[in-house]
Amino acid sequence: MHIGVIGAGRLGATLAEWCVESGHDVAVTSRHPERLTPLVERLGGDHVTAMPVADAAAYADAVLFAPAWSSAREAVDLAAGGLDGKVVIDATNPPEAVPHGLSGLETLMGWAPEAQWVKAFNTLPATVLSRRRGHDPLLAEFVCTDLTDARRTASRLIADLGFAPFYAGGAETARLTETGGPLQMTEVSVQDATQMLAYALAER
């Protein structure tokens, strides 16, 4: 697949690297794509390119959305409609006080309603993901979305990157995985994920 990675911080850069290693072609982007040349060179320039946000969104079959939450609205605006119809995997974590009691995922859905939003890759830092990636028992990667096709695409990419996709529920359930939620900072192997999700749902 062509993967767009919006946000070139620690998590975004790590996910971009793993996408390249998994055989995907990657467009990395941020507010300042001209500063991403060292990242492109480190990842191997044949399969990764730095582009402006709108170009990366248009290029992508699926998007990994990993800016800081404070930059998330700007990133959506810079995409300029390029997210429409695309599977967008939201790896952000908003502060606990999100307006109107919405999850961060639901907030993003309001900002770009034509995108196919999925929540994943937001519960653990890149250091933990790097340590657990590809090792048995596989680390469960919680997935939240209301869209079946988007769930399939995200799950396929999660598996490509060396994790076990585990469906946690719809967009509302994303609150369980975000800041202050019971699944945030939860390192759980796939065989224990059902029990952990049941606990989180009961806590809600």
pLDDT digits (tens, 9 = 90+) for 134-162: 999 999 999 999 999 999 999 999 999 99
- Which residues partner with 140 through β-bridges? 164
Q: Would you state the pLDDT for residue 129?
A: 97
Q: Would you state the pLDDT for residue 31?
A: 87
- How far, in Å, CA of 163 to CA of 46, rounded? 25
The CATH number of residue 14's host domain is 3.40.50.720
Q: Would you state the pLDDT for residue 97?
A: 55
DSSP labels, 150-203: HHHHHHHHHHHTT-EEEEEESGGGGGGTSTTSTTTT---BGGGHHHHHHHHHHH
How far is residue 171 CA from its own chain's centroid?
14
Mean pLDDT over the full length of the chain: 94
- What 8-state DSSP symbol labels residue 1? -
Q: Would you state the pLDDT for residue 99?
A: 59
- Flag whether pLDDT at 6 surpasses 90: yes
Q: Would you state the pLDDT for residue 101?
A: 78
Between CA 150 and CA 89, with CA 179 as vertex, the angle to 5 degrees is 20
Percent over 70 (pLDDT), the chain: 98
Q: Would you state the pLDDT for residue 98?
A: 62
- Flag whether pLDDT at 86 surpasses 60: yes
For 38, the domain range is 2-203
Contact by Cβ (8 Å): 47, 19 = no
The closest of 132, 121, 134 to 161, measured between CA atoms, is: 134
Q: Which of 4-13, 33-42, 94-103, 181-190 has the lowest mean pLDDT?
A: 94-103
- Flag whether pLDDT at 199 surpasses 60: yes
Burial-class residue 98 by CB neighbours within 10 Å (0-12, 13-18, 19+).
middle
Please, what is the end-to-end C-alpha distance for the chain in angstroms?
Answer: 36
Q: Which of 21-25, 96-100, 131-135, 140-144 has the lowest mean pLDDT?
A: 96-100
How many domains, the chain?
A: 1
Report the predicted TM-score, pTM, of the whole model to 2 decimal places. 0.95
Between helix 72-79 and helix 104-111 the angle, nearest 10°, is: 30
- Flag whether pLDDT at 204 surpasses 90: no
